[in-house]
Structure 1
Amino acid sequence: MDIKTLVLALALGNLSLCAALFFFEYERKKSLSMSTWAVAKQCQAIAWILLYFRGVLPDLLSVLLGNCLLFAGMALDAGALWQAAGRAGWRRTIMPALGAAVGLFAACYLFDVAPLLRSAGGSLIVAGFFLSGVAALCLKWNEATMLRRFLVVSMGLLSLLIALRGVLAALVDGFDAELMQLAGFGALYLMMLTNAFGYLLLSREKLGGELARLEVVDAATGVPNRRGFYQALAPWMALARRPGLPTALVVLNLDDFKRVNDSYGHPVGDAVLKTVVDTCRQQLRDSDLMGRLGGAEFAIQLPRTSLADALMVAERIRAAVASLPVKTDKAVLNLTASLGVTTIRAEDSTVSLFKRADEALQAAKAGGRNRVVEAPQASTLDA
């Protein structure tokens, strides 16, 4: 395959990606990172088309504009990876670097620097932007999936190959220029494929992770839902069979919460629940876990906590909720909560544990609400 064919393949490959992204994003809300990546591919497609028609179009278009658009596409490619990594400030570094690269290349073109040196400089610029994208993929390396690690290694090696081509072109006299160009464009073609499939697979991986998270997290409050809380509770149920400090369970229900939804609407109700959750978390340790069981009912897991200490924590939570004025657009609401407290016993199942905690909660409701009630001790039940 000659260089001209490789350039055409790069142009058509990026054009097909642009078309696929257009139809993928049609009538959908675009993420900022995906939009940046789409613009990057558009710049690269136009750049390779201009470079393909070098000799047909004026050099000002095919060489100068083509390379400048290519640099812009590579820079935005790296920016999309930084954006996907949660670093929205990438423009403060990558865009000035892009401006400097375009200015340097334009100066080399206008002052008629030797084409071989100009090509070498272009290779180093492209490799630098690619390595910037690789650096974004290296963030939180210990948490990286095998896909991300593969992309780091493969894109890093291809970037170094492109950079090596530029260095050899600049420093080694008599080196086979056509062979160097063929190797450089071959690396760029492989980079296009790796980057395209890698980015799309990373986006799919991220979406899958978000869907998996939503299965166990309550969207309104950000705490685990019933399923997530039960999953987190399972190992502590097993540990209850061993000697040591018990694990306590607190079940909390907001008193008369239905009137909030009925009077002010569910969006206000969700805002109130989020405020209550934040208030409860302020009374808890980092090791404690709060989850939403449904409606206005929550569960709190207190690892290695005796019943007496759990009652103290529950009382602090009750007092904090009762003293909290919840501000909404329509009114300032005052809420109270009823709580049932128990500890996990060796013979407990999830059903028996929550049944006992819920009975204590119902006793708090029946006793006038806004109070804490402990479940009966095992000895009392046996009697």
Structure 2
Amino acid sequence: MIDLQTFMLALGVGNTAFALLMAGYMRGAAGNPALRTWMWARLSSGLAQICCWAAPHLGLPLAEEFAAFGWVGGVALELASYCVFFGFGNWRRILAPATVAALLIVAAAIVARASRAQMTQVVAVIVALFATGAATILLRPQPGAPLLQRIIGVNDALFAIAIWTWMGVANGGLGTFDANPVYGFAYLASYLLMIVNGFGFLLLCKLKDDQRMQRLATIDGLTDMLNRRAFFERAERARQAALRMRKPIALMMLDLDHFKQLNDSFGHACGDDALRLFADTARATLRGNDVMGRLGGEEFALAMPGTSLAGAQFAAERLRNAVAEAPPPACAATCRMTVSIGLVMIDPHEELTAALARADHALYAAKTGGRNRVEIGAPLLRRA
């Protein structure tokens, strides 16, 4: 038969071990404020639970009082870690006063010399409220939310329900697993919370870090477009798919006109603004399945799967006009930004690099022909 005190010891040791595990993980990883806050939450909860176990065994009333504050601090820090993880802007304005109010309630109960059962009820209500807040954050409607996030949210919700059930049915009493199934449900929910949330949040932070690293490896940091390597990979996949489905695919090379003069006259920061403006303008005119990337400097490439020559020419002219009509960068209000475009259709028997070379040749023709124009490259000549 497992009583509450033994269970508190198990929870305390487990949460403290999780805190140490996360501390060790963070020493070899990039700084993660959310994970650091979570570590302190686990440590606070773990020490509180160990104090709950130690208080009756060692006869230390102060241990129970510390445990009450530790419980509240732990769940508040856990909720704070979620807010930091999701990048909420004004979370401190809400959570900080709520945490102070909860701690003052605990302090008032201690001053009023509340019994152990009464103190348990006070802390349980506070913990349940914070757990409900955590579940609300994790389970809120959010496009693309990972399954792991939902699992942690459901776990927090079940934990809050377990506490409310325990308060309503058992009146905050203390017992054992065998004495009352309500106790068993609440205690097991607590242990499940420790295991799932402990490993779950660690994995959730790692998943976010992996996604960030994947983005850094594939996205150009200045324009938020595909970088050179990622463009070649995705454009090649698009070419292969078009070949299998026997559909056309168009390819363009694009270059901002007089970009060197802009950099020399107004500085590289202004040139960066012009590149971002061009990228935003291009994104607004492209389809969802178009593949566009920055190859370097002011040079971009665009692959348009399933597009005929006439359709690609129309799209290129629309993009050219959109760039010409876009407001100039604020740093160079007197400059008009334009783009030259070289367009080719990729032959079914042609490699992507060869098609890019033809598109680049057409781009050169557009540049020498006066700029701010679309030049269609000659089709691939096949040997007889």
Q: Kindly tell me: are residues 170 and 296 of structure 1, through their superposed partners in 2, closer, same or farther at Cα, counting changes over 3 Å?
A: same
Deviation at 1:314?
2.6
Contact kept, 8 Å, 1:364 with 1:371, in 2: the verdict is yes
Query: Which structure 2 residues correspond to residues 203-282 of structure 1 after superposition, within 5 A?
Result: 203-233=205-235, 234-235=237-238, 237-239=240-242, 242=245, 246-258=248-260, 269-282=271-284
Distance 1:36 1:85 in 2: 13
Query: Which structure 2 residues correspond to residues 55-204 of structure 1 after superposition, within 5 A?
Result: 59=61, 61-91=62-92, 93-99=94-100, 101-111=102-112, 115-139=116-140, 143-170=144-171, 184=186, 187-204=189-206
TM-score between both structures, scaled by the size of structure 1: 0.77
SS at match of 1:222: coil
- 1:237-286 Cα offsets, whole Å, 9 max, x none, are 53366577x44332102245456667777655444322221233344345
The yes-or-no answer on 1:317 pairing with 2:319 is: yes
Q: Kindly tell me: are residues 10 and 354 of structure 1, through their superposed partners in 2, closer, same or farther at Cα, counting changes over 3 Å?
A: same
Deviation at 1:362?
2.0
Distance 2:115 2:131 in 1: 25
Contact kept, 8 Å, 1:120 with 1:167, in 2: the verdict is no
Distance 1:150 1:102 in 2: 29
SS at match of 2:294: strand
Distance 1:52 1:332 in 2: 74
Which piece of structure 1 moves more, 365-374 or 21-30? Answer: 21-30
Distance 2:175 2:205 in 1: 41
- Code of the residue aligned with 2:296 in structure 1: it is G
Residue of structure 2 in register with 1:367 after alignment: 369
**Percent identical across equivalent pairs?**
33
- 1:19-68 Cα offsets, whole Å, 9 max, x none, are 55556556987444234323423433453454445356764x43344313
Residue of structure 2 in register with 1:33 after alignment: 34
Which piece of structure 1 moves more, 44-53 or 272-281? Answer: 44-53
SS at match of 1:68: helix
SS at match of 1:325: coil
Contact kept, 8 Å, 2:117 with 2:172, in 1: the verdict is no
Distance 2:316 2:178 in 1: 76
The gaps in structure 1 that reach 5 residues or longer are none
Deviation at 1:205?
1.4
Distance 1:3 1:339 in 2: 73
Contact kept, 8 Å, 2:26 with 2:32, in 1: the verdict is no
Query: Which structure 2 residues correspond to residues 305-344 of structure 1 after superposition, within 5 A?
Result: 305-322=307-324, 324-328=327-331, 335-344=337-346
Distance 1:177 1:146 in 2: 31
Distance 2:135 2:11 in 1: 20
The gaps in structure 2 that reach 5 residues or longer are none
Distance 1:20 1:109 in 2: 33
Q: Kindly tell me: are residues 336 and 144 of structure 1, through their superposed partners in 2, closer, same or farther at Cα, counting changes over 3 Å?
A: closer
SS at match of 1:203: helix
SS at match of 1:204: helix
Contact kept, 8 Å, 1:325 with 1:334, in 2: the verdict is yes
Distance 2:160 2:220 in 1: 42
Contact kept, 8 Å, 1:15 with 1:41, in 2: the verdict is yes
Contact kept, 8 Å, 1:218 with 1:292, in 2: the verdict is yes
Q: Kindly tell me: are residues 17 and 176 of structure 1, through their superposed partners in 2, closer, same or farther at Cα, counting changes over 3 Å?
A: closer
Distance 2:59 2:264 in 1: 69
Distance 1:338 1:132 in 2: 54
Distance 1:243 1:23 in 2: 54
Q: Kindly tell me: are residues 237 and 289 of structure 1, through their superposed partners in 2, closer, same or farther at Cα, counting changes over 3 Å?
A: same
Distance 1:263 1:19 in 2: 55
The yes-or-no answer on 1:299 pairing with 2:288 is: no
Contact kept, 8 Å, 1:85 with 1:137, in 2: the verdict is no
- 1:96-150 Cα offsets, whole Å, 9 max, x none, are 5545544554555555555334424433432342343233333457744454454
TM-score between both structures, scaled by the size of structure 2: 0.77
Distance 2:31 2:334 in 1: 37
Distance 1:313 1:182 in 2: 65
Distance 1:183 1:118 in 2: 21
